[in-house]
Amino acid sequence: MSAPLRVLVVDDELAMRESIAAWLVQDGQQVAKAEGGREALAIMEQREFDLALVDIKMPGMDGIELLKRIKEGHPDTLVIIITAYGSIESAVDAMKAGASDYLLKPFDPEHLMLLLEKMGRQRRLMQENQMLRQRLAEGQMAGFEDMVGGSPDMLKVFEQIEEVAATEAPVLVAGETGTGKELVARAIHNRSARSFGPFVAINCGAQSESLLESELFGHERGAFTGAVKARRGRLEMADGGTLFLDEVGEISQKMQVALLRVLEDGSFLRVGGAQPLTSDFRLICATHRDLREMIEAGEFRQDFFYRINVFSISVPPLRKRREDVIPLAEHFISVFSHETGTKPPELEDKARRALISYAWPGNVRELRNIMERAVIVSRGGSIGLEQLTFLEEGAKPGANALSLAEMETEHIRRVLVAHGWNITQAAATLGIDRTTLARKIKKAGLRSP
């Protein structure tokens, strides 16, 4: 769970001020209130705020003037301007003056909460950028989002993200399961001109063909049994933003043809619909499979591959960038300690050596899970070998190392046991689709007890 935002509500109307404050408190945020600009600035001299919600029309100092004063004295505080529906021009002026967004009266609590969630993401991005600039200035490790690393391969990934983010080119992100392909996609979106639009993700491998078609294209009422009302698809939801197709290698060739048509002419039909729809989105795809091999085997369309692979990024597995393991582990320790409100525990030397020597079949996702549990069980103390309970014996100094295939099989077995052999839940935890998991179970000879 993310840390609550510190929010200052500034509105001269008592009822509006109290209503907004009540909604925010109910949502778990930390709230202070001010009746006008001068009171707001006085409060901000005493406390730091992540976000200020400012009414544009107030006696004395209006919202635009307060916005400018906040940006001068508290540049890290995000500001949302509240304005009446008929005053769009004022909202535009506020954006030019440095406002992060605006709310049009009247608005409902849900709209405010969605905007707050967006501001929380923007705030975290600003903090990550500040940390990155500081670490780069100090010659330390570079990082984007939850991706941390100073290895040559990761620095290349960071450079590619920056390079392609400024374009509209479709991107194909390749890499093993758990390497952080969705993080790469989100980083591209967050650094693009579409960053204030939606980021809509869907795991194509976790859906049947008919369900995937409905999820992507939407459907009209009565299009099939159970379609009791019309529903927007992910293509429509991504309008103005980014559509992320995870595990695109699992899409059937029929669906590839349908998506290719959308990418070429920009229009599509809902399932059971007759009215053409359009959506302006940037496409990013990801896969852990070798699509060129699939093309040679007749399992993937070449024309669709070339359409989605205008720019490609390959995310290296963790075992090939072992110099990043400890910085990543320490990053996750910091993140989870902050979430639990505890002092970050120190990594003992034996734990460090074990983490570096481990083969990491589950890549960064596995490391993240291990460190999350280690922070919890350490209870503020140090993290030693005994806290790294998900590590195989082969990772500990002096033990006989398991092969990569053996480690993967044992990891799959443990996840299956943890979920009571529920294939769907286990596949979701492992970040793969049910078909792939079933194939791995059969290949490894695993059987439900």
CA pair distance 221, 382, nearest whole angstrom:
57
139 torsion bin: left (phi>0), alpha (psi -120 to 50), beta (else) = left
Query: Where are the strands (E) in 137-271, listed by range?
Result: 142-144, 147-149, 171-174, 199-203, 242-246, 267-268
**Does the pLDDT at position 141 exceed 50?**
no
Question: Do residues 187 and 195 make contact, with C-beta atoms less than 8 angstroms apart?
Answer: no
Decide if pLDDT at 32 tops 90: yes
pLDDT at 275: 85
Residue 46 has pLDDT above 70, yes or no: yes
Q: Has this prediction a pTM greater than 0.75?
A: no
Domains of the chain: which residue ranges? 6-124, 145-314, 319-402, 403-449
Whole-number percent of the chain with pLDDT over 90: 34
| Fold match between domain 6-124 and domain 403-449 | no
Q: Residue 400 — very low, low, confident or very high, per pLDDT cuts 50/70/90? A: very low
Check residue 97 and give its pLDDT: 79
Please say whether the beta carbons of 286 and 174 come within 8 A: yes
* Owner of token pair 């669906």: 255
Predicted confidence band of residue 406 (pLDDT cuts 50, 70, 90) = low
Q: Looking at the predicted structure, is the pLDDT value of residue 340 above 90? A: no
CA dihedral for 300, 303, 304, 307, sign (positive or negative): positive
Question: Is residue 130 very low, low, confident or very high in pLDDT (cuts 50, 70, 90)?
Answer: low
Identify whether the C-beta of residue 307 lies closer than 8 Å to the C-beta of residue 172. Answer: no
pLDDT at 28: 87
What is the per-residue pLDDT for 208? 83
CA distance 186 to 173: 11
Which CATH fold would you assign to the domain 403-449?
Answer: Arc Repressor Mutant, subunit A (1.10.10)
What dotted CATH number matches 145-314? 3.40.50.300
Query: CA 59 → CA 79, 167, 333, distances in Å?
Result: 19, 44, 48
- Domain 319-402 of CATH type 3.20.20.80: no
Least confident of 168-177, 319-328, 345-354, 432-441: 432-441
CATH number of 6-124: 3.40.50.2300
Q: Which residue has the tokens 């923007």?
A: 122
Q: What is the pLDDT of residues 347-367, one digit of tens each?
A: 999 899 889 888 888 899 899
**Which has the minimum average pLDDT: 10-24, 54-68, 144-158, 230-244?**
144-158
